[in-house]
Amino acid sequence: MRMGMSIVENNAFSLPDGYPTLHENSSWWHAITLAANRAKEALPHAEVRVERARQLVLDGRIEIVHSSLAKVTSSRGTFYTSLINGDCTCVESGRRNTWCHHLIATWLYCSCRLYLQVVQPSS
Ligand SMILES: [Zn+2]
């Protein structure tokens, strides 16, 4: 993990599907705001990337493929992010030793799901 910010928190990726879709539930807005603020604190020089990532999440562009892989569909194509070691298949990630906005988006998405699991248990 490059930036000391773990993507995987408390096995967030095994959560069941079926959460309210974005824009249907204001809890998502609250969750994404909290998560984005945390990401900005952890990555103080990446505010632009955090905002791009937040928009990807709000647009529903993040899909968990399986327990260790997410798919991010951005305007420049489809990329795959690892939930284990913080890798991304995009060029930006390979060129710069830092978190690309796909990885940040994946982290935001998973943080939101975890947050809603805690605040609004589905049972
Ligand atoms: Zn990337």
The number of distinct structural domains making up the chain is 1
Distance CA 84, CA 67 (A): 9
> Measured in angstroms, how far is the CA atom of residue 14 from the centroid of ligand 1?
22
Stretch 80-92: mean pLDDT, rounded?
A: 89
How many Cβ atoms from other residues are within 10 Å of residue 103's Cβ? Answer: 28
> Measured in angstroms, how far is the CA atom of residue 120 from the centroid of ligand 1?
30
pLDDT category at 84 given cuts 50, 70, 90 is confident
DSSP 11: T
3-state secondary structure of 2: coil
Phi, psi at residue 120, to the nearest 5°?
-130, 75
pLDDT category at 52 given cuts 50, 70, 90 is very high
pLDDT of residue 18: 47
Stretch 76-91: mean pLDDT, rounded?
A: 90
> Measured in angstroms, how far is the CA atom of residue 118 from the centroid of ligand 1?
28
> Measured in angstroms, how far is the CA atom of residue 122 from the centroid of ligand 1?
31
In the sheet with 69-74, reading across from the earlier edge strand, the strands are 62-66, 69-74, 77-82
Tens-place pLDDT, residues 113-123: 888 877 665 54
Tens-place pLDDT, residues 12-46: 433 334 444 444 557 888 889 999 999 999 998 99
Distance CA 9, CA 62 (A): 17
What's the farthest any 2 CA atoms get from each other in the chain?
44
Q: Which residues surround ligand 1, an ion (CB under 5 A)?
A: 79, 88, 90, 93, 100, 102
Range of the structural domain that residue 37 is part of: 2-14+21-119
> Measured in angstroms, how far is the CA atom of residue 16 from the centroid of ligand 1?
25
